[in-house]
Amino acid sequence: MQQSSPRFQPHVPMVSAPACHDELTGLTTRKVGAQQLEMQIAAAPEGDRVAVLHIDVDQLKEVNHSLGLELGDIYLQRIARRIRHCLVDGEIVSRLGSDEILVVVPGIRQPEEVSAIVERLLDRAGQPIELAGQTVLASCCIGASLFPDHGRTVNELMRHANLARCQAQRLGRRRYQLFTPELLDDDFDYCALRSAFQGALDRGELELLYRPMLCARSGQVVAVSALPRWRSARFGGLEPERWMAAAADNGQLADICLWVLENACQHASSWFEVGVGLRVVVHVSIAGLLDGGFLERVDLALGRSGLPPELLEIEVTEGGLMQDIHGAVTLFEQLKAKGVRLSVDGFGSGYTVLGHLSRLPVGTLKLSELFIHECLDNPRHQAIIRAVIGMAHALDIEVVANGISTRQQADFLRQQGCDLLQGSLWARMEYLHTR
């Protein structure tokens, strides 16, 4: 079998003046990175490709917010060091902006080689980081473009890698996307969507969809999840995953959080006044929870609506909690002292909140949909479901099974002892509250 030869990397003079390096990370600056990319393009032999990787460091804003800017700087430095150590001579790494890094890899023969490089970067950068005694689950998203396949100029290649990076971020954390021409249309749509969403709140275009939770024993609706939807004249009715990134880029998340809280509490209060005491569940990101003003927003929403605090439930994902478990414990205790109920969404999704569960004053665990989808056929998932239910009940915590789509799943989960059931099986009972 013929052995593959190592990638040929043409010699390109490197710029090394101290002013050309980022003071915090030691990486070269954006300007220098662009210059070096231009040199690599010019020096690329016939048949060779140059890969341009646009890396976004996940969770830097959250670390800055919850742990402080100094530890945020350390977090970024460690990620940058890991990325640099993954590279070989001739590969370039530069800092583009606050949480964005450029990597240029010459000597690519086949596009498939990029995937192996990216997987190595994602794996190395994704190792947990200890900061001030806390474990931060590090990760990044990567978009890639190739010379000459996706462009022949620095501007084209960097723009296309950035578009791919944006698409990777929309898919979630620790994702990779290679540029495709279709992303050019998506970019136009995203820019238009972001612009249109800027005034969505003022125009009264947000509405709340209430998704029921049923008591597993009685079949009665005992709680509802409040899900914001955007009713756009141009884009139609959009679920949060379609516009949440635009809201974040616009700096609107705090305003949306307050809007959802106030409206959900107002609606639940109106139901309570006519004798329907439904608990309303509001999902909050960990950044929104720990931004310093969340307790005041809860007080404001409860005060304006007159809703009894025990009918409000604040829900946070398990992964979000692990970004700042100590801060979350403190805030959860303060919320519980107000009488507000607390829940953990996506429990069992691969994080490590289990070790902190006895310290978290939560009233509800919502099982990860991963286990629900295969609960009838996967013995391992069945064992995990039974173990979680047993542990939760021993701690006097309710268990919600979310993502139920069939009657057989509902019957199985009821038999295992789940307290509440939720999913598309009861879509006909969803209620859309419009202005």
Q: How many CB atoms lie within 10 A of CB 42?
A: 9
Q: Give the tens place of pLDDT for each residue, 282-309.
A: 999 877 787 778 999 999 999 999 999 9
Closest CA to 121 of 163, 168, 182: 168
What pLDDT digit, counting tens, does each position of 198-247 carry? 999 999 999 999 999 999 999 999 999 999 999 998 888 888 888 887 88
Distance CA 347, CA 270 (A): 31
- The tens digit of pLDDT for each residue in 144-185 reads 999 999 999 998 999 999 989 988 887 777 889 999 988 887
Distances (CA, A) of 175 to 55, 118, 190, 320: 10, 10, 19, 17
pLDDT at 390: 94
pLDDT given for residue 246 in this prediction: 83
CB-based contact 297:259 (threshold 8 Å)? no
CA–CA gap between residue 271 and residue 305 (Å, rounded):
11
- Tell me the pLDDT of the chain averaged across its residues: 87
Is residue 397 predicted with pLDDT exceeding 90? yes
Q: Sketch out the chain's domains with CATH numbers.
A: 18-180 (3.30.70.270), 192-433 (3.20.20.450)
What is the average per-residue pLDDT within 112-136?
Answer: 87
**What pLDDT is attached to residue 9?**
46
319 to 135, 315, 322, 323: CA distances (angstroms): 12, 12, 5, 7
Residues 6+ apart with CB under 8 A from 119: 176
Cα–Cα distance for residue pair 274/272, rounded to 1 Å: 5
Instruction: Determine contact, residues 221/208, Cβ cutoff 8 Å.
Output: no
107 to 33, 121, 165: CA distances (angstroms): 17, 17, 22
Helix/strand/coil for 5: coil
| Rg of the chain on CA atoms, in Å | 24
pTM, rounded to two decimals = 0.64
420 close to 215: Cβ distance less than 8 angstroms? yes
DSSP assigned state of 21: B
Q: Supply 27's token pair.
A: 């990486």
pLDDT score recorded for residue 354: 67
CA atoms within 13 A on the CB side of 386: 10
Max avg pLDDT among 72-81, 134-143, 343-352: 72-81
